[in-house]
Structure 1
Amino acid sequence: MNVDVQGRMRRLSVMAPSIVQCAVASSLAWVVAKDLLGHERPFFAPIAVVICIGVAVGQRLRRLAEMVVGVSLGVGVGDLLIIQIGSGPWQIALVVALAMGAAVLLDSGSLIVVQAASSAVLVATLLPPTGTGGLDRMVDALLGGALGIAATALLPASPAAIAHRHAAAVLEALASALRGTAEALDASDAELATDTLEEVRGTQKAVDDLDTALKTGREIASIAPTRRRLRRQLLRYETAAEPVDHALRNTRVLTRRAVVALAEGEQPPAAISLTLRELADAVLLFRDELAAGERPSGTREAVTGAAARLRDVPVEGTGLSTGAMTAQLRSVVVDLLLATGLDHETAAASLPPRPRPPG
């Protein structure tokens, strides 16, 4: 089995700030709850930290609310029932069912339901209620969640860095698809075009990860004072995200038409593969300009220059699939210009006029 060591190391570097936040804040939560508040076994405090921060990015404030509500429901139901009916198999079943049912009625969030059930199980088995134990556990959950948010604010990851890592993966996948399609056309290699199509079909997870990273970036920028100055740079990634996703989708269609064209013996003009290569270079330039926080003027110029080559594509005698590829290339050009911040009218105006058929 092949292991993508580099990919895993990149993922570790992305998650490292959250891991540090979890480690520091969970330890602090235990110390505060045990030594300052006097709670004997404040396990909910570090658990709340881990759930609130998590190694999965995004929606920490919502997870905090769900965590506190879930613990409160689970502990509350467990305390009320176990004191009266004791602990055992059927008692566990009843407590879990009631806690989960109450959580579902209260909110559709999965974390509330799971946390209510797990808290009820703990109360019914390992930690039967004693005195004010239920209230202490609710306080521990709230304390852990609050420290998790504080850790995010005081030890924040860079929103722009998080966004860039994920955006770079998407842009590199787009550039690879464009270049791979060009190489397949130049070599008249239908198998290479098919392989490229399979690769570009597998890019949706990278797009979804970018969307989640942007949500995390916005959240960090909103609660971490030291990161607010980076909101403008983060905004450039937010502007680019949707058009780049559209460019990937249009490239997927383009590559599929390339597979059909090569399989049917069409010979697309060299202008198409040249345009694809130049667009691939422009995408990588865009990645670098975003990382540097620069205005993407170089990208706009490169994309417009690549689009100008479409003037050399003949109107007739190229085949149905070649015509479809030309149309998709025009769409990719517009998508990339939108990603740089141009409005749709200006981006469309950058395209060369469609040549008229002779006669």
Structure 2
Amino acid sequence: MDGVREEVRRRLRRLARTALPILQCAIAAGLAWVVAKDLVGHARPFFAPIAGVVVLGVSLGQRLRRVVELVVGVSVGIGVGDLLISMIGSGPWQIALVVALAMSTAVLLDSGTVIALQSGSSAVLVATLLPPGDSAGVNRMVDALIGGLIGLGVAALIPANPITVAHRQGRAVFGELALALRGAASAVEDRDPARAAAALTRARGSQKALEDFRAALETGSEIATIAPIRWRRRSELEHYRSAAAPIDYAMRNTRVLLRRTIAALRDGESVPERLPEVLRALADATERLRDELARGDEPVHARRVALEAGRAATADLLTDGGFSMRVVVAQLRSIVVDLLQATGVGREDASAALPAMGARRPEK
């Protein structure tokens, strides 16, 4: 029974997250129909509300591009279909040929999926329902433009908060990176290659979270561009955008670090005593960065913690270490540079902030 309640709550939370996009789609569909039918005078403008919903979508992003793809796709499909059907007539093989040629033309013009699909569906419409040269084909192009523009207008006037999705996806990405670093620390501390392998498996599965994070930032940037009431959130969004690529690199470097950790532990290499402490400090820096970005603060605390960890990752960690452990420490330093960049430090300054590999950590 508890499991059923939890599943119901999970689904309700999912509905709550998509409530605004659903409302946007509903309003855009209704307005597009009214404009195309009552103002423009099309008898049955079914494609106008469809275009409004497609442009908005429950999964947001690339709306401006979708408007262009819709109109171009419809135009290509109707143009190719009308030209061919007028010459070869209508039938099963003619439909197949028209669809193949319309979609091929769309792919040659642009790689967008929407263009190809709309070209194919528009060609089918011409081949099956519309007499050659009928004005309904032109009307459909107009309907696509009406629906697309109304979809954009609704997105601008009733916008989502561009930071909300960035917060949610960002927390997932930073959380995965921190877990990977803590997993490496525990594996080194316990001399347990199986634990390092488990952390590596989880880190490899984090790619989806990174892709979702990048998509959320793209969507947020679009919203902050077209919606005037969201312009003030652009600076917060820019902090996330600046952190996205360095965090991706940090995760990649962490996967390399875990692979070499597994090799070092299996080979019985000597492990620097302070290595788990430094790895956990980097995990702390990652979590501080996550929290400071979520609050809209300058990530000064995360920068300080990352820098302290980097200063600890000097040659004194390499005492009696073998080849794999030396690679681990080198990767650790690369992760420090990535995290410093994620806090807004330039790459050259981040690299220069670390002591040279031959330097000794100063005594306190």
Global fold match (TM > 0.5): yes
The one-letter amino acid of 2:77's match is G
Contact 1:304 1:333 in 2 (8 A): yes
Q: Distance in 2 between matches of 1:309 and 1:105?
A: 54
Q: Distance in 1 between matches of 2:165 and 2:295?
A: 14
RMSD value, Cα = 2.6
Match of 1:210 in 2: 213
Q: 1:143 and 2:146 equivalent?
A: yes
Q: 1:285 and 2:288 equivalent?
A: yes
Match of 2:191 in 1: 188
Contact 1:271 1:313 in 2 (8 A): no
The one-letter amino acid of 1:99's match is A
In 2 relative to 1, CA 311–263 (structure 1 residues): closer, same or farther, beyond 3 Å? same
Q: TM-score, normalised to structure 1's length?
A: 0.90
Q: What's the CA shift for 1:14?
A: 5.2
Q: 1:339 and 2:353 equivalent?
A: no
Match of 1:153 in 2: 156
Contact 1:171 1:287 in 2 (8 A): yes
The 10-residue stretch of structure 1 (25-34 or 112-121) with the greater mean CA deviation from structure 2: 25-34
Equivalent residue for 2:73, pick from 70, 81, 101:
70
Equivalent residue for 1:58, pick from 45, 61, 77:
61
Equivalent residue for 2:176, pick from 170, 173, 178:
173
Q: Distance in 2 between matches of 1:341 and 1:40?
A: 56
Q: Which runs of 5+ in 1 are unaligned?
A: none
Q: 1:323 and 2:326 equivalent?
A: yes
The one-letter amino acid of 2:275's match is I
Contact 1:315 1:356 in 2 (8 A): no
Match of 2:256 in 1: 253
1:82-135 Cα offsets, whole Å, 9 max, x none, are 466553212212321332233234333332122111111123235556842112
What does 1:1-359 correspond to in 2, within 5 Å?
Answer: 15-82=18-85, 86-126=89-129, 131-311=134-314, 313-355=316-358
Contact 1:282 1:303 in 2 (8 A): yes
Q: Which runs of 5+ in 2 are unaligned?
A: none
Q: TM-score, normalised to structure 2's length?
A: 0.89
1:270-328 Cα offsets, whole Å, 9 max, x none, are 31111111111111111110011001111111112223333584433122221111111
The one-letter amino acid of 2:39's match is L
1:123-148 Cα offsets, whole Å, 9 max, x none, are 32355568421121111111000011
Q: What's the CA shift for 1:34?
A: 2.7
Contact 1:14 1:162 in 2 (8 A): no
Contact 1:272 1:313 in 2 (8 A): no
Q: What's the CA shift for 1:178?
A: 0.3
Q: What's the CA shift for 1:73?
A: 2.0
Percent identity between matched residues is 55
SS of the residue corresponding to residue 318 of structure 2 reads: coil
Q: Distance in 1 between matches of 2:355 and 2:66?
A: 49
Contact 1:271 1:312 in 2 (8 A): no
1:221-264 Cα offsets, whole Å, 9 max, x none, are 11111111111111111111111111111111111111111111
Q: Distance in 2 between matches of 1:322 and 1:144?
A: 59
Q: What's the CA shift for 1:78?
A: 3.2
SS of the residue corresponding to residue 313 of structure 2 reads: helix
Contact 1:68 1:138 in 2 (8 A): yes
Q: Distance in 2 between matches of 1:194 and 1:36?
A: 64
In 2 relative to 1, CA 245–16 (structure 1 residues): closer, same or farther, beyond 3 Å? farther
The 10-residue stretch of structure 1 (11-20 or 184-193) with the greater mean CA deviation from structure 2: 11-20
The one-letter amino acid of 2:202's match is E
In 2 relative to 1, CA 174–7 (structure 1 residues): closer, same or farther, beyond 3 Å? farther
